[in-house]
Structure 1
Amino acid sequence: MSEKSQSRAILLALMAVLMWSTVATAFKLSLQHMSPLQLLGWAGLGSSVVLALGVSWQKGWHELSCEWRRRPLFYLALGALNPAFYYLVLFRAYDLLPAQQAQALNYTWALTLALLAVPLLKQRLQRVDIMAMLLGYGGALVIATKGNLLALEFDSLTGVLLALFSTLLWALYWILNTRAEGSPAVTLLLCFLCGTPMVWLLMAWQGELQLPAWQGLLGAAYVGLFEMGLTFMLWLGALRAATHVSRISNLIFLSPFLSLIFIHFLLHEPIAPATFVGLGLIVTAVVWQQHAARSEPMTAAEQPE
């Protein structure tokens, strides 16, 4: 529909990366005024509105209706996984951990994806996958222990386990998402239309339906717009406009390092040297693994998101 333009693709991708780099800070600021469940409920509501506007712009409502009538149980299950279960676990991890740890640990989801692909997609682990996982999860351990590997002391072991568990949920969601036949925007909106009411029912059950402080609502609106909604559209637009998709995709690796800048200056968290070391190990592992995958003929066209 639109012409290929690498410069336009780079601009859209950089906008998306910049927005994604702010969300870890937004999570922590919002959680100062509301619970993880409330943040998910209000952010999911805002994201549903943004995604609905995107589907309207793409004239995709007929497609959405057809997809829902054809596979309602599939989308209910997908929506329960994301946004409901995944973000609830992720926000709880952010509630328990410093933002720099939670966002870096969550970045190991690409490594988890390779692990899940073995039983679910019947793929074999290559030697490079195993080496990348050892490197990446070694980096996660460096971050979680602040470099004190022998002591194995954590700010919150529960938070670390939840952050790593969220990567399992996110990887599982993307594997199941490959079986969706609708366009990405339609599929994501269906997930939010199914998952968000589940969150609100859980809020009612937990007695958390009260209106949060305006700071929390503002933060939830920001998260819904930039973590779950608009940024996805920008990234998708960048990939569609790109003449060299791999060069665009590599820009995503700027996000966790930019995120540390926002965390330091807006949350006033002193960034531990171990965070830089561990994050460097994780990013190196992910880049190494993806580069090896792209060199294989069977996976040369594969690229997440």
Structure 2
Amino acid sequence: MANQKQAMLFGLATVLLWSTVATAFKLALQDLAPVQMLLIACAASVVVMALILKVQGRWKLVFSLSRRQYLQSIGMGLINPCLYYFVLFGAFDRLPAQEAQPLNYTWALVLAYLSVPFLGQRLRRIDVVAGLVCYAGVVVIATRGNITSLSFSDPIGVGLALGSTVIWASYWIIATRDDRDPVVGLFLNFLFGLPVIAVVCGLTAGYSIASGGPLLAAVYVGVFEMGVAFVLWSYAMKKAENTSRVSNLIFISPFLSLVFIYFILGEVILISTYIGLALIMGGLWLQQRKVKVREAELAHGR
């Protein structure tokens, strides 16, 4: 029971951090190009993860991998952080935070769909129903409630937000075959991805980065969203005696995020955002509920 309480505390801390990042994204993008923000955030993340590994006494693991694993780090680093965050930040650069953030949460559904061809899993009826509910929410948010016209507020921004879900889900499918220590693996992915981001930044937006709030917001994203939150969530899952209770905490995050978006960014939250987000979360809940019922049945030998 003590472990479960610790797991819930780690999970709540993670959810709180996740709830602030949409606001931090928009604050950083006020004066930074997406690739500049990515460069700063990735560099900050590399530093904080190196410190975490050093404090935990696992720094030596960075140098104990095989050649194949280092090559794997390069490949995965091109996906995350390079491609994924560039596309995600591009979406936030074009869309209000209240629109980009809920759309990104559909990655869990995309993961279920991609697991069918790539991991050999079965597509269940509930996955189809959950998809219809989730993407109904996407349409409501993307059209700002004007669903009959199907006129998206920013088609490119919506495309980037949905594209980021495919990239993120693909990354986690590839990660199922990753036998590296999770924090070591993420550190190396970001370390090898950082030079690529630096080159792209130099060739496009340049290195002229003003100091102040946007810079601090980008550092915050790198330290907490890309670094600390990952470690806290890993601890939550490791200590949990009931993982479903901890994983259910993620449903708090998008709604709590709207509070920060409203009070800090000053965005007026549209009714369509609430309706669309409720549909997306409802669809994800349907999908996860079926998985948990099936796991319980298997645990009881059914």
Alignment TM-score > 0.5, same fold: yes
Deviation at 1:33, TM superposition (A): 1.3
1:116 matched to which residue of 2?
114
Answer yes or no: is the 8 Å Cα contact 1:63–1:182 preserved in 2. Answer: no
Q: Structure 2 vs 1, CA of residues 79 and 86 (structure 1 numbering), >3 Å: closer, same or farther? A: same
2:207 matched to which residue of 1?
209
2:189 matched to which residue of 1?
191
Of residues 231, 234, 256, the one that matches 2:229 is 231
- For residues 245-275 of structure 1, the C-alpha deviation after alignment (integer angstroms, 9 at most, x for no partner) is 1101101110000000100111111111111
Answer yes or no: is the 8 Å Cα contact 1:64–1:182 preserved in 2. Answer: no
Of residues 275, 278, 284, the one that matches 1:277 is 275
User: Which stretch shows the higher mean deviation, 279-288 or 61-70?
Assistant: 61-70
Q: TM-score, normalising length from structure 2?
A: 0.95
Specify the code of the residue in structure 2 equivalent to 1:66.
S
Specify the code of the residue in structure 2 equivalent to 1:13.
G
1:89 matched to which residue of 2?
87
Q: Secondary structure at the match of 1:228?
A: helix
Answer yes or no: is the 8 Å Cα contact 2:38–2:197 preserved in 1. Answer: yes
Answer yes or no: is the 8 Å Cα contact 2:36–2:209 preserved in 1. Answer: no
- For residues 146-205 of structure 1, the C-alpha deviation after alignment (integer angstroms, 9 at most, x for no partner) is 111111122211000000000000000111111110121111111101112110111112
1:149 matched to which residue of 2?
147
Deviation at 1:298, TM superposition (A): 10
Specify the code of the residue in structure 1 equivalent to 2:34.
P
Deviation at 1:62, TM superposition (A): 2.9
Q: Structure 2 vs 1, CA of residues 207 and 300 (structure 1 numbering), >3 Å: closer, same or farther? A: farther
Q: Structure 2 vs 1, CA of residues 207 and 255 (structure 1 numbering), >3 Å: closer, same or farther? A: closer
Deviation at 1:242, TM superposition (A): 1.8
CA distance in 1 between counterparts of 2:168 and 2:143 reads 23
Specify the code of the residue in structure 2 equivalent to 1:56.
K
Answer yes or no: is the 8 Å Cα contact 1:293–1:299 preserved in 2. Answer: no
Deviation at 1:7, TM superposition (A): 1.6
CA distance in 2 between counterparts of 1:286 and 1:93 reads 21
1:105 matched to which residue of 2?
103
1:55 matched to which residue of 2?
53
CA distance in 2 between counterparts of 1:4 and 1:180 reads 30
Of residues 158, 161, 166, the one that matches 1:160 is 158
User: Which stretch shows the higher mean deviation, 66-75 or 233-242?
Assistant: 66-75
CA distance in 2 between counterparts of 1:280 and 1:164 reads 17
Q: TM-score, normalising length from structure 1?
A: 0.94
Question: 4+ runs of 1 displaced by more than 6 Å?
Answer: 298-301
- Paired residues for 1:287-298 under 5 Å: 287-297=285-295
CA distance in 2 between counterparts of 1:42 and 1:196 reads 9
Tell me the number of residue pairs that the alignment of Structure 1 and Structure 2 aligns.
299
CA distance in 2 between counterparts of 1:121 and 1:27 reads 33
Q: Secondary structure at the match of 1:67?
A: coil
Unaligned ranges ≥5, structure 2: none
CA distance in 2 between counterparts of 1:53 and 1:89 reads 28
Q: Secondary structure at the match of 2:149?
A: coil
Specify the code of the residue in structure 2 equivalent to 1:175.
I
Of residues 239, 246, 256, the one that matches 1:248 is 246
Deviation at 1:300, TM superposition (A): 7.0
1:138 matched to which residue of 2?
136
Answer yes or no: is the 8 Å Cα contact 1:34–1:216 preserved in 2. Answer: yes
Q: Secondary structure at the match of 1:227?
A: helix
Specify the code of the residue in structure 1 equivalent to 2:41.
A
Specify the code of the residue in structure 2 equivalent to 1:94.
F
Of residues 216, 219, 235, the one that matches 1:218 is 216
Answer yes or no: is the 8 Å Cα contact 1:4–1:243 preserved in 2. Answer: no
2:126 matched to which residue of 1?
128
- Paired residues for 1:2-81 under 5 Å: 5-67=3-65, 69-81=67-79
Q: Structure 2 vs 1, CA of residues 120 and 148 (structure 1 numbering), >3 Å: closer, same or farther? A: same
Q: Secondary structure at the match of 2:252?
A: helix
Q: Structure 2 vs 1, CA of residues 5 and 269 (structure 1 numbering), >3 Å: closer, same or farther? A: same
Specify the code of the residue in structure 1 equivalent to 2:201.
M
User: Which stretch shows the higher mean deviation, 142-151 or 49-58?
Assistant: 49-58
User: Which stretch shows the higher mean deviation, 167-176 or 70-79?
Assistant: 70-79
